Chain A
């Protein structure tokens, strides 16, 4: 399975960003797609996940109401959208797939700055 994420983004505070994660190989519908982020110099933080077949996302409480996770079975692409961006959301956002996050995308740097 290969995961290719969308490119780096620069956003203004209060705006939204949508990061994509295109999967190839494997069976898209049954994989768990996880989203995590890593602020500069910091550790990994799990954001949420989705199994395309079930189409029911799980999002950690910290991001509930601000993050939407979706999956498009027709294009084998998972998405993570975050709104009301703040400077503290500046981070590299990773998608991963598999029962144990076996496969990882290359990461997408999102910079939030006025």
Chain B
């Protein structure tokens, strides 16, 4: 069981917007602005899409945005495109002894 809770799957049509959620506790997501998001295509290494809640690394499309409210962080993908079809994982710093925790992943399907 993952430390952070993500919905198993989200789907949308090309051009639509979708939001992936990631729920933790006050010891991780809610307590610090250290949430990150990763995109992973089959057989590939994860790719950083967002860090520190809402910061986009250089080269990541502006269609991706991040936010947080309380113990839940969100990644929104606007103008959904075929290449966005992938697994997405959230991660957070935690004040617990584990230091870094991940969510179980959300499968995004572009219809």
A and B interact:
no
